[in-house]
Structure 1
Amino acid sequence: MIKSMTGFGRGESRDSVRHFVVEIKSVNHRYNDIIIKMPKHLNYIEDRIRKHIKNKISRGRVEVYINLEYMDDSTAKVQVDLPLAKSYKEAIEMLNEKLDIRDKITIDLIAKFPDVIKIEKQEEDEDEVWNCLKNGLEEAINKLIEMRIREGQQLAKDIKMRAENIMDIVKAIEIRSPEVVLEYKNKLKNRIEELLGDNYELDESRLANEVAFFADKSNIDEEIVRLYSHINQLISALDSDVPVGRRLDFLIQEMNREANTIGSKASDIIIKNKVVELKSEIEKIREQIQNIE
């Protein structure tokens, strides 16, 4: 079952101290790019978060937003830097004296200066924080994956339909290919007779050699066989339980290469038109698989 790389999930978890809200969204990306935005004082669990996500999601740009709200202020402590406050007060008094200003120095004024009053979070137990966060993270990831699966099912349905269209086009090219050689032989024979008249005796062996050369030059049997193989592999991969985005991308590249080769070998307008249809369907699939994990 294939998955899209686009999705969104939200989860919550709490204990007696903290309340986490986790939101995850993912979009297309060639690799597994994880971006985590959370309170700075939780940076020590970033590796755990990243590893947990990578175990569940193998491809895509994943953005994680973690919001933390404490249930009470027991983890916060107000710190006052008295020496720094005293230095600020002395500096203001010196300015008053030097500039002959008699403004009052208030607590409000001193408290506004940087780092005089700081709120520090008390050190928390890493395992305790992680155990609380993990539940919300897991919920968000599961909802994200559910959305990716739903969209992946729609993508697989569309790709299978287009793969069947490609199969029909390749079959039409396969049927047409031997007819082209026969038509070439008849046209060449008629042209020779038209130019040289009835008195000229046609050399059947030379004609056969010319037709054989044309047939060999325009032969597309190998390309058709490989296209059938690539199509069957593509359809089979859509039912796989493992990420197949990169494999599908490779198959589409190979299919496009075979289509180009057929187009370059073909001198028949019907086959050339079929190649245009073929490449159009391949390109539509290529666009779709850019969003597959």
Structure 2
Amino acid sequence: MVPTRTAPAPHLASMTGFGRAEAAGDGVSVTVEARSVNHRHLDVALRLPRALAAFEPEARRLVQSRLERGRVDVAVLLAPAPGQAAQRIRADAPLAAEYVARARELGRELGVPGDVALAWVLERPGVLRAEEADAPDEAALGPVLAQALGRALDELVARRRTEGEALGVELRKLGDDLGAQVDLIEARAPAAVARREERLRERIRALLGGATVDEGRILTEVASWAEKTDVREELTRLRAHLGQLAQVLDAGGAVGRPLDFLVQELNREVNTIASKADDLELSQAALAAKGAIEKMREQVQNLE
């Protein structure tokens, strides 16, 4: 049983899936069930019957060659092949002959006519006994296990990829939603500055009453306020991260960790924008962006 490591195909894959397969050979049947769920790393748990325990290291390497992340549980069942009995019937001929001899001897002594029937002999204790079938050749079990495990992993990987592609579609949609909020924030920012200036003027007029307003001082305060609430750098970084998000999704493969990092960076930039926003429309857009990022985080946690 020699595992062959293949280069990972550029497909998105989730960490949840199931695969089942059977293979037969040398009078035995091997059934493998493989299940996987989310996990930060690759954690493989194998349950093998005693007759296959020697192949655990090779089976583990085969699983590791096909998967990158996830908690993987593999259960293996060994049974006789279809048409093969799980036990063998052994006949103790010397014991049967002893029963026959003693029965005939007793018949002569008692003067009872008749001979001993086969059915009677077979019913005597110990004449027939069921024994476990001969253990199959250990060397022949390896290829059968490898075949069944390989097929189960094929199904598991196919299901993980199917779900992964669906997650990719959802993440691209969420990326578009986040990009729309970024555009909205960028479009509303100049109007927000104008509204801040108008609010500042109204406050100063209320404080000064009918006194003359120093226009230069107002402009200075507006400029200082605009600098503190400027989100252009955050918007630039958000667009860069969204571009990286699209590139990672297009590249495929094991993208869970890179995407998790990108989502953290997106969240950090949006939090900064939200902290700077002192305008209702900007705050609403920032909240909508945070909602999209949270949904992205949930989906990314499922990717390999």
TM-score by length of 2: 0.76
- Contact 2:188 / 2:282 at 8 angstroms: preserved in 1? yes
Distance 1:40 1:4 in 2: 32
Paired residue for 2:147, among 129, 135, 145?
135
Which stretches in structure 2 are left out of the alignment for 5+ residues? Answer: 1-10, 91-124
- In the TM superposition, 1:65-104 aligns within 5 A as 65-71=75-81
Identity, % of aligned pairs?
36
Distance 1:34 1:121 in 2: 31
- Distance apart, 1:129 and its partner CA: 2.1
- Contact 2:234 / 2:272 at 8 angstroms: preserved in 1? yes
CA RMSD of aligned residues (A): 2.6
| Residue deviations 1:71-114 (CA, integer Å, cap 9, x gap) | 458999x9xxxxxxxxxxxxxxxxxxxxxxxxxxxx99xxxxxx
- In the TM superposition, 1:44-83 aligns within 5 A as 44-71=54-81
Distance 1:228 1:203 in 2: 37
Paired residue for 1:231, among 210, 232, 242?
242
- Contact 2:193 / 2:226 at 8 angstroms: preserved in 1? yes
What is aligned with 2:270?
A: 259
* Number of aligned positions between the proteins: 255
Distance 1:125 1:203 in 2: 94
Rg comparison, structure with higher value: 2
- In the TM superposition, 1:209-288 aligns within 5 A as 209-288=220-299
What is aligned with 1:193?
A: 205
Distance 2:267 2:24 in 1: 52
What is aligned with 1:14?
A: 24
Distance 1:201 1:241 in 2: 61
- Distance apart, 1:122 and its partner CA: 5.2
Q: Which moved more, 1:208-217 or 1:137-146?
A: 208-217
- Distance apart, 1:220 and its partner CA: 1.2
What is aligned with 2:111?
A: none
TM-score by length of 1: 0.79
For 1:175, the aligned partner's letter is: A
- Distance apart, 1:207 and its partner CA: 2.1
- Contact 1:24 / 1:144 at 8 angstroms: preserved in 2? yes
- Contact 2:20 / 2:152 at 8 angstroms: preserved in 1? yes
- Distance apart, 1:263 and its partner CA: 0.9
Distance 1:248 1:137 in 2: 30
Q: What is the SS of the residue equivalent to 2:174? A: helix
Which stretches in structure 1 are left out of the alignment for 5+ residues? Answer: 79-106, 109-117
What is aligned with 2:116?
A: none
- Contact 1:75 / 1:122 at 8 angstroms: preserved in 2? no
- Distance apart, 1:280 and its partner CA: 0.9
